[in-house]
Structure 1
């Protein structure tokens, strides 16, 4: 199961996220849930960089683990993309509730 954790500040803005684990929907290379989660998250990370020129405070992208943490100066301008990711993962979790869970901290 993928655990998607979104981190918020005191103003309820998303300041980062972490994706941990594997969906386990199908075997490697055929897992549509893992592919959807990974492609959405990498697209948002790439858009933050290319479109908004946001350089993350922390970024990790390795097997079964994606982490993004933003600097304070970039939080506000990143909200649309981060909320888009949150919404996309929520929709995926509605279709595949046994394969992805979303947590908020």
Structure 2
């Protein structure tokens, strides 16, 4: 199972998100849930780098089974809003996957 964890500030901004585990919804190379979740998360990280010119602090381990991304603290308000919008879009896409394939992916959100 893929577990997505989102850590938000008290105001609701996404501070970090992590994905761990494997969906195992199909054979290796044919796992659509894993491929979809990976595409959505890496697409968001790449979009933030390309559109916002912001590099998230990224940690990957376990041969693709773990991804942790933290939003840098220092950036101007307009850029922070763009980063947050892209991250919220990522969560909407992941939630859409979880609605259909909840036995393979879960999303948990917490606030500091």
TM-score, normalized by the shorter chain, greater than 0.5 = yes
TM-score (norm 1): 0.93
**Structure 1: which 5+ runs fail to align?**
none
Contact conserved, 1:5 with 1:19, CA < 8 A, in 2? Answer: yes
Query: What's the TM-score once normalised by structure 2's chain length?
Result: 0.87
The secondary structure found in structure 2 opposite 1:73 is: coil
Structure with higher Rg: it is 2
Q: Which runs of 4+ in 1 moved over 2 A?
A: 73-77
Cα-to-partner distance string for 1:6-65 (whole Å, 9 max, x where unaligned): 110111111120000000101110000000000010000001101100122x20234201
1:77: how far off?
3.2
Q: Distance in 2 between matches of 1:79 and 1:45?
A: 11
The alignment of Structure 1 onto Structure 2 pairs a total of residues equal to 104
Structure 2 unmatched ranges of 5 or more = none
Shift of 1:79: 0.8
| Alignment of 1:71 onto 2:72 | yes
